């Protein structure tokens, strides 16, 4: 058994009162997926995950994944058994269509389950997570034959999927990739090239791996406009659906990494491997973005999940570790009695509650964007998803690192020692602001693409929705006064920053707009956090549970008074423009 405890009560609370899950369950096709069913499902999954997956987190980190001379990869002890049980339980396909063997649940329900699995062991969770992204891409763009061939097995978890974007010379600049796809004359393509940083590119959990590979066909345009995407399976599939001969691909090595030791990060080589075009030639980036947008919200969730596991460890340690005396006392006390430790614990809890609400809220908007019967509502919900996704990814993963570091700080010197286990969360979290588009790219996406939708009206309308809570906070009484004033002041600063960026971009000074993009995204994250914590406190006030109401009110007030002011302080950084960023030469920077 593990010391990890899934936050089932908070997940249920957020789904019901912040996401508005009952509205989602009423959308076409979700009649079987009511909130009570989701609660039961999460509880059942939690029992399995706590018992079978969570204990693998530390053990998998110590053992790590191992590359073998025959190009195979061995995952840590216990992974195979746990994956087989996870697959047998039907958890891999919860949010996918029943026509391919899935549960047909809303994506927000699948994301709630994903938080529990990821907190239990992020390294283990990456195999089903990446398969989900590949399934989404095939659902949107695969041919009927491709769907029939691959999706039932992938949804069931019998086959896993990967994303193959990055090459040694083409990281964030995907358009620089050189992997070739040459027609074979029979409708297939010969794929030749090398891909790096491929999570679960090779492993022993399943026999078949379905690689989605970006490559260029002969004569394709330069840059991203000339990229196509191909299914390149490890084993070719026979007409009867059985696995045939091995394809011409292999794993050359497994990276030695700071964290995520249990997850094999592979260097993949393709030598005239047989590939099958998905969709049309030169449309690969459009298709890949289906996977990437799905993954970006999931990676933001990873920040929440890893930090949540770290918080639970730090809270337990703070209650056990006896050190020093309280002010005015004479007897040694647990460190949770010291003000600075209390501040660190409250900081973690407040931001984790807010981040959980933000990520699930975004997923709920996504479900409405897909299934709402009103086209205008679908369009607006899709706009909100576009706005919130880079914030969820970047803010969520920044917090994943920061809060894991805070949790380690609670341990003091013991946290720096690997045997206590908390260092693992800090190491595992560090990749999250980097992969699936660095957080700088997320900020540039927010300012360069999402902010300009409908000449800025889309974002401005959402800011007005946030501000509409003011009257409710005023009526809630004195206990909410600090929350109200803090939110109003910092929302005002965010509106000023938004106006400045829209004006600056309209004037053509894109460098200055992008120079302020990272602090601008941070402003959004902090203001959204305060707004969502305020909403939670308002709901909790009327539920009849005095202790729960007090918890939510204190968290919202603490955030408004001690964390939210950082948003307003960032206004100057946003509006300074490119300023001194380009003044010093590299030689001057070197000193």
List pLDDT tens digits, range 488-520: 999 999 999 999 999 999 999 999 999 999 999
Stretch 312-317: mean pLDDT: 97
Q: Measuring CA to CA, how many Å separate 105 from each of 33, 34, 402?
A: 6, 9, 33
436 is catalytic: yes
Separation between Cα atoms, residue 394 and residue 400, nearest integer Å: 10
Give the bridge partners for 192, in sequence order.
180
Show the tokens assigned to 491.
């929302």
Residue 1: pLDDT band with limits 50, 70, 90? very low
Residue 328: pLDDT band with limits 50, 70, 90? confident
Q: Are 203 and 153 in contact (CB under 8 A)?
A: no
Q: From the candidates 202, 337, 436, 536, which is the catalytic residue?
A: 436
CA nearest 311: which of 414, 413, 391, 409? Answer: 409
Residue 117's Cα: distance from chain center in Å? 13
Does position 267 have pLDDT exceeding 80, yes or no?
A: yes
Q: pLDDT tens-digit profile of 231-243?
A: 999 999 999 999 9
Residue 310: pLDDT band with limits 50, 70, 90? very high
CA nearest 86: which of 137, 135, 115, 125? Answer: 125
Separation between Cα atoms, residue 323 and residue 332, nearest integer Å: 6
pLDDT attached to residue 171: 64
Q: Is 425 exposed, middle or buried (0-12, 13-18, 19+ CB in 10 A)?
A: buried
Average pLDDT, the chain: 95
Stretch 116-123: mean pLDDT: 98
Residue 64's Cα: distance from chain center in Å? 23
Q: Is 272 exposed, middle or buried (0-12, 13-18, 19+ CB in 10 A)?
A: middle
DSSP-derived pairing of the beta strands 160-164 and 209-215? parallel
Say whether 500 sits in a helix, a strand or coil.
helix
Q: Which fold has domain 160-282?
A: Butyryl-CoA Dehydrogenase, subunit A; domain 2 (2.40.110)
Q: pLDDT tens-digit profile of 25-46?
A: 999 999 999 999 999 999 999 9
pLDDT attached to residue 61: 97
Stretch 205-222: mean pLDDT: 96
Stretch 426-435: mean pLDDT: 97
Q: Are 308 and 5 in contact (CB under 8 A)?
A: no
pLDDT attached to residue 281: 93
Show the tokens assigned to 383.
């706009």
Number of other residues whose CB lies within 10 A of the CB of residue 268 = 24
Separation between Cα atoms, residue 468 and residue 25, nearest integer Å: 26
pTM: 0.96
Domain 8-156 CATH assignment equals 1.10.540.10 = yes
Q: pLDDT tens-digit profile of 55-71?
A: 999 999 999 999 999 99
Stretch 560-584: mean pLDDT: 95
Q: What is the share, in percent, of the chain residues with pLDDT greater than 70? A: 99
Q: Are 406 and 63 in contact (CB under 8 A)?
A: no
Separation between Cα atoms, residue 358 and residue 391, nearest integer Å: 9
The conformation of residue 372, written as its DSSP 8-state character, comes to: -
Residue 294: pLDDT band with limits 50, 70, 90? confident
């Amino acid at each position: 058994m593990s010391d990890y405890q899934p936050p089932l009560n908070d997940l249920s609370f957020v789904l019901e009162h912040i996401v508005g899950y009952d509205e989602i369950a009423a959308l076409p096709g979700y009649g079987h997926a009511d909130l009570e069913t989701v609660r039961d499902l999460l509880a059942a999954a939690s029992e399995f995950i706590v018992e079978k997956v969570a204990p693998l987190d530390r053990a998998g980190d110590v053992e790590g994944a191992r590359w073998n001379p025959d190009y195979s990869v061995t995952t840590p002890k216990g992974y195979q058994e746990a994956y087989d049980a996870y697959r047998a339980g039907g958890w891999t396909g919860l949010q996918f269509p029943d026509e391919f063997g899935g549960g047909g649940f809303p994506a927000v329900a699948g994301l709630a389950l994903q938080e529990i699995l990821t907190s239990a062991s992020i390294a283990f969770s990456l195999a089903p997570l990446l398969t989900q992204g590949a399934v989404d891409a095939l659902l949107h763009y695969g041919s009927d034959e491709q769907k029939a061939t691959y999706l039932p097995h992938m949804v069931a978890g019998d086959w896993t999927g990967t994303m193959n974007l990055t090459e040694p010379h083409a990281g964030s600049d995907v358009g620089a990739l050189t992997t070739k796809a040459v027609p074979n004359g029979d409708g297939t393509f010969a794929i030749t090239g090398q891909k790096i940083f491929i999570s679960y590119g090779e492993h022993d959990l399943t026999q078949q791996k379905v690689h989605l590979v970006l490559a260029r066909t002969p004569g394709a345009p330069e840059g991203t406009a000339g990229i196509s995407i191909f299914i390149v399976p490890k084993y070719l599939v026979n007409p009867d659906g059985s696995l045939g001969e091995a394809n011409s691909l292999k794993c050359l090595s497994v990276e030695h990494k700071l964290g995520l030791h249990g997850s094999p990060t592979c260097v993949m080589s393709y030598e005239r491997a047989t590939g099958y075009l998905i969709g049309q030639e030169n449309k690969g980036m459009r298709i890949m973005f289906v996977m990437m947008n799905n993954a970006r919200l999931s990676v933001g969730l990873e920040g929440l999940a890893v930090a949540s596991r770290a918080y639970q460890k730090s809270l337990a340690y703070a209650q056990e570790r006896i050190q020093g005396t309280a002010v005015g006392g004479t007897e040694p006390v647990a460190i949770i009695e010291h003000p600075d430790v209390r501040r660190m614990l409250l900081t973690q809890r407040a931001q984790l509650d807010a981040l959980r609400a933000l990520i699930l809220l975004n997923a709920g908007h996504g479900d409405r964007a897909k299934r709402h019967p009103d086209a205008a509502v679908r369009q607006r919900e899709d706009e909100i998803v576009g706005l919130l996704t880079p914030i969820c990814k970047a803010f969520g993963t920044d917090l994943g690192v920061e809060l894991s570091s805070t949790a380690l700080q609670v341990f003091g010197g013991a946290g720096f020692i690997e045997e206590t286990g908390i260092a693992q969360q800090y190491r595992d979290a560090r990749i999250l602001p980097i992969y699936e588009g660095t957080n700088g790219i997320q900020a540039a996406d927010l300012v360069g693409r999402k902010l300009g939708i409908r000449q800025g009206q889309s974002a401005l309308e959402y800011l007005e929705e946030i501000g509409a809570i003011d009257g409710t906070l005023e009526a809630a009484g004195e206990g909410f006064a600090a929350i109200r004033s803090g939110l109003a002041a910092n929302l005002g600063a965010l509106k000023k920053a938004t106006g400045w960026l829209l004006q600056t971009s309209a004037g053509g000074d894109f460098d200055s707009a992008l120079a302020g993009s990272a602090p601008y995204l941070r402003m959004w994250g902090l203001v959204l956090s305060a707004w969502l914590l305020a909403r939670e406190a308002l709901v909790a006030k009327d539920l009849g549970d005095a202790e729960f109401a007090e918890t939510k009110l204190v968290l919202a007030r603490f955030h408004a008074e001690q964390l939210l002011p950082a948003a307003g302080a960032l206004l100057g950084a946003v509006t300074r423009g490119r300023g001194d960023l380009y003044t010093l030469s590299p030689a001057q920077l070197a000193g």
